[in-house]
Structure 1
Amino acid sequence: MSRLFGSVRARAALGATGVVAVALVVTGLAVLLVLRSNLTGQTDLRAQVAAQDVASQVALDVPYDKLDLPDSDENPVQVVAEHGRLRAASDDLDAVTGTETTAVRPEGSADSDSGHDDGDHGDGGDDGDPSRGKVSHDDARFSSGTATVDGDTADYRFAAVEVTNGSDGTLVVYAGAPLTTEQSAVSQVRSVMLIVLPALLLVVGGVTWLVTRRALRPVEGIRQEMAAITASEDLARRVPEPGSHDEVARLARTTNETLTALEKSVDRQRRFVADASHELRSPIASLRTQLEVGAAHPELLDVDGAVADTVRLQQLAADLLLLARLDAGERPAAARIDLGELVREEVSRRGPGRVPVTVRAPGGLEVAGSRGQLARVIGNLLDNAQRHARAEVEVSAQARAGRLVVEVANDGPGVPPAQRERIFERFVRLDDARTRDEGGAGLGLAIARDVAQRHGGTLTVRDGAVFALDLPAARAREWSGTDTP
């Protein structure tokens, strides 16, 4: 059960159902309130019309026992004088609540029996004065209550209209209108909602479940394929990509791109380990052979060869260590370095070599980074140039549009266009370089490019034998940090 409700489909269905349920409940309550308000307003209007009709008769001094009262079932009426004295009421009214008085039988008096003298309706004296009776048409008051007519009790809305006449002064006419229609309509709407709401929620939940299931079906395919890849460790496999252009399709494409990058990384690591083992095996085997010969025949020990093999091992171990640190994402230090001065130092440190080196590197060309790593880059470029030059190597440093460029050129045969990117791969050496004993392990240019990229620069080869190191110039602020070799 927990697994079922822990799925995305179940959560989406429950969430959609919950949202729709809240919306429907709020909407239903609003509909019921509006319906009740409208029907109550109509009931109030009917009660007010009935009350004003009776009040008009009272204002004309119609005797109370002669009032033309509406049907008690539809509009029960009370005519109440001051101090709650009941002057007239519907004949069939047995009980009433919600008005000024609960009395249903008028008080016995001469006035109530006869109303007024017959002359009250004549045409003389003050009887025709229109100020004798007045009905308030604008200030009806409304209240809720009950009325029992012929033994049947029901809920009513009562309208209270004030009226004045010549005998009692100010009176209040109460007329009621039944709420039966309003209650019946509201009850029917409520019953329909209670039936429709659960059915609608089931439909919403089911549709959401099916739609979500169909939408997430490719995700399940991706998950199964990733599980199979994990179990088989076969990084050449790829997850299925749906033909849609939605988020799931983008997820599948991104997953395949990640698998491609991971496959390349694993292959690169495997080649790295294999090439490193191969490169280490040769000097170790040579050194072991020389030491074994020296142990058996000391006079035959080649000390210079042993030292050369040891130096080669030391350099290879240092290169491998630097590559491992670069692959681990080590950030270069933020020291301020004079690039021209660094170039001149690296050239002078080598002393006279097989071919002369011409330097054109003015001062003031400052970069930010690791002095040791940048020195390694320049040194590797110089080693490569001297190894392939025929008679001369030229090194220059200059500023170009906010960038600093170091170019190392030699007059050798150059790099074929098809090999200009391949030479920056690890353990790659062109055929002519393999014929030289001092050809190296093929890590120098790979290290140089990695260091350049981590300093925000580039390292490229052009015109056959010109290597260009492009670095961003240091900003006009102080840099601090510990240099990393």
Structure 2
Amino acid sequence: MRRRLFGSVRARATLGATLVVAVALLAAGASVLLALRSNLTDQASSEAESSARKVAVSIATGTAPAALELPDGDDTPVQVVDGDGRLLAAGEDLERISGTGSSAVKPVTPPVDDDGGDDGGGDDDGGSDRHGGDGNGKGKGKGKGGDDDSYAYGEIADDAEGGKGSATVDGETRDYRFAALEVKNTRQGDLTVYAGASLSAEQSAVGTALTVMLIGFPVLLGVVGAVTWLVTRRALRPVEGIRSEMSAITASQDLARRVPEPATHDEVARLARTTNETLAALETSVERQRRFVADASHELRSPIASLRTQLEVGAAHPELLDVDGAVADTVRLQELAAGLLLLARLDAGERPGEARVDLATLAGEELSQRPAGRVAVRTHLEPVEVAGSRSQLARVVGNLLDNAQRHARSRVDIAVRAEGPWAVVEVGDDGAGVPEAELERIFERFVRLDDARARDDGGAGLGLAIARDVAVRHGGALTVRSSPAGGALFELRLPVAPVA
């Protein structure tokens, strides 16, 4: 059952289309999820860096870490850490944090800087302080007697470093994208501001998209599979019609039937037309073979019956035995059997040989084998060689000579010459000729135009058919037209043999 199902073109096409769409959907879905996650992560990184930069600006402009107004809520956890890793400031309700420079959540009080100045009094040097104050008592930094909530100006780094971590704020734990921004040269030295942006939006969006894909992809694949199944069934319906009709033709052996041709211009329509052309050729071939067998049986029956009659009479009355008639019937039977055998070999596709044959010599030999008859033979033979079967070509020339001598009144002309790439053999007579309507019919098998003539005087109607078939097998042609003497002129054209 499984092999039968996947042996169907429709099933394989459906499976293939579904697999292709599934791979495409997986690739597209993965790309969408990665792009969505990347965009939302970049957005969270930008938000974290923006929050960190706001806090850094406040520190750089003189606000002490303890006096910073940090963002409230669980969307932006903030830490301010000094160079020793001490937490100087943190957002409210921060219970736990990871992925930053410090895991502490409670800020510590910074130590007093002993070099930061004095309590407002001068010293023995006339009032200059330890921070390089001038003679007017103004220093570059604040002393102990200054504002404890203010710091020296600092420098903010151009770029922030990113990272990922988690934090628990007010009992709720989330994943965050953190930005670390350094502020240099403050009262407390170099400080680092850590600010986070929640990844909840990114996780929610990716989760929603993934859920939609997990639900939608199977549905879409099902739709693709169903549509492909229906479309291929509709497309292959004419093929099934062709198959069923061919099966019926095989069962009935009725080669006159034809497969249905769809009214389209696609491959299936061309397949149907080609199938019908093949059936027509097969029908013609079978009909020709059937007619050939019937005609051969008819032609063989006559000499066999005549020979049997003569032998039976001779057996009963030896003095009445017609030996010459029996020999003639035997020769006739032998020639007919040889002709039928040659036609059978030609129909089977026997390829001619590659021997080099001189047509002038061949024509001379055929003429020498025929006794001087009632008609004169005029020759004009020029040497020209062709490649092929000597015996088959001799049969062609002999058949043309026999036909011409049979129908000539007083003269037969035979000529052999070369015309460019062709070797030409012409055999003509001065007989009655061939009617215009019969010029092609005389090359059919078992066709004799003079039905009234005696069988002893005429052949079986195979000579010209054999001659044309042999000519075609040798790459040439055999045609007939009226001769200048008034009779028929047969022209055999064969390719000249290449130079050795």
TM-score (norm 1): 0.92
Preserved contact between residue 156 and residue 184 of structure 2 (Cα < 8 Å) = yes
Partner of 2:154: 133
1:83 CA displacement: 4.1
Q: Determine what percentage of the aligned residue pairs are the same residue.
A: 67
- Cα deviations by residue, 1:151-196 (Å, 9 ceiling, x for unpaired): 1101111111122033343332211100011111111111122222
Question: Which stretch has the larger CA shift, 145-154 or 4-13?
Answer: 4-13
Supply the distance in 1 between the matched residues of 2:6 and 2:246 (Cα, whole angstroms).
23
Structure 1 residues 116 and 239: alpha-carbon distance in aligned structure 2, compared to 1, 3 A threshold? farther
Partner of 1:284: 304
Supply the distance in 1 between the matched residues of 2:429 and 2:189 (Cα, whole angstroms).
127
**Match of 1:219, SS?**
helix
Partner of 2:206: 186
Matched, 1:400 2:423: no
Partner of 1:458: 477
**Match of 2:369, SS?**
helix
**Match of 2:195, SS?**
strand
Structure 1 residues 284 and 124: alpha-carbon distance in aligned structure 2, compared to 1, 3 A threshold? farther
Supply the distance in 1 between the matched residues of 2:343 and 2:118 (Cα, whole angstroms).
125
- Extract unaligned runs of 5+ from structure 2: 121-130, 143-150
- Cα deviations by residue, 1:284-314 (Å, 9 ceiling, x for unpaired): 1111111111111112111111111111111
1:357 CA displacement: 1.6
Supply the distance in 2 between the matched residues of 1:51 and 1:161 (Cα, whole angstroms).
6
Which one has the largest radius of gyration? 2
Partner of 1:359: 379
Question: Which stretch has the larger CA shift, 301-310 or 5-14?
Answer: 5-14
Supply the distance in 2 between the matched residues of 1:186 and 1:153 (Cα, whole angstroms).
19
- Cα deviations by residue, 1:248-271 (Å, 9 ceiling, x for unpaired): 111111111111111111111111
Partner of 2:71: 70
1:57 CA displacement: 2.2
Supply the distance in 2 between the matched residues of 1:116 and 1:225 (Cα, whole angstroms).
111
1:317 CA displacement: 1.1
Supply the distance in 2 between the matched residues of 1:52 and 1:320 (Cα, whole angstroms).
107
Partner of 2:490: 467
Partner of 2:22: 21
Preserved contact between residue 367 and residue 474 of structure 1 (Cα < 8 Å) = yes
- Residues paired across the two proteins, number: 471
Question: Which stretch has the larger CA shift, 65-74 or 433-442?
Answer: 433-442
Give the one of 308, 321, 324 matched to 1:301.
321
1:360 CA displacement: 1.1
1:106 CA displacement: 2.5
| One-letter amino acid of the structure 1 residue matched with residue 466 of structure 2 | I
- Cα deviations by residue, 1:344-368 (Å, 9 ceiling, x for unpaired): 22222324233222121211x2211
Supply the distance in 2 between the matched residues of 1:304 and 1:258 (Cα, whole angstroms).
50
Supply the distance in 1 between the matched residues of 2:308 and 2:183 (Cα, whole angstroms).
130
Supply the distance in 2 between the matched residues of 1:287 and 1:82 (Cα, whole angstroms).
132
Supply the distance in 2 between the matched residues of 1:131 and 1:321 (Cα, whole angstroms).
122
1:22 CA displacement: 1.3
**Match of 1:240, SS?**
coil
Preserved contact between residue 375 and residue 410 of structure 2 (Cα < 8 Å) = yes
Supply the distance in 1 between the matched residues of 2:356 and 2:413 (Cα, whole angstroms).
25
1:439 CA displacement: 0.9
Preserved contact between residue 72 and residue 92 of structure 2 (Cα < 8 Å) = no
Question: Which stretch has the larger CA shift, 266-275 or 212-221?
Answer: 212-221
Supply the distance in 2 between the matched residues of 1:171 and 1:468 (Cα, whole angstroms).
113
| One-letter amino acid of the structure 1 residue matched with residue 426 of structure 2 | E
1:111 CA displacement: 4.9
Partner of 1:11: 12
| One-letter amino acid of the structure 1 residue matched with residue 344 of structure 2 | A
**Match of 1:204, SS?**
helix
Supply the distance in 1 between the matched residues of 2:39 and 2:138 (Cα, whole angstroms).
48
Partner of 1:109: 110
1:118 CA displacement: 11
1:414 CA displacement: 0.9
Matched, 1:205 2:225: yes
Partner of 1:148: 168
**Match of 2:106, SS?**
coil
Give the one of 423, 439, 456 matched to 2:458.
439
Structure 1 residues 424 and 433: alpha-carbon distance in aligned structure 2, compared to 1, 3 A threshold? farther
Structure 1 residues 124 and 176: alpha-carbon distance in aligned structure 2, compared to 1, 3 A threshold? farther
1:408 CA displacement: 0.9
Partner of 1:42: 43
| One-letter amino acid of the structure 2 residue matched with residue 380 of structure 1 | N
Give the one of 409, 426, 432 matched to 2:445.
426
Q: Which structure carries more helix by proportion? A: 1
Supply the distance in 2 between the matched residues of 1:274 and 1:350 (Cα, whole angstroms).
32
1:275 CA displacement: 0.7
Partner of 1:31: 32
1:415 CA displacement: 0.9
Supply the distance in 1 between the matched residues of 2:416 and 2:286 (Cα, whole angstroms).
38
1:100 CA displacement: 2.4
**Match of 2:101, SS?**
coil
1:424 CA displacement: 0.8
1:233 CA displacement: 1.1
- Cα deviations by residue, 1:73-114 (Å, 9 ceiling, x for unpaired): 1211122222433232222211111122222222343359xx
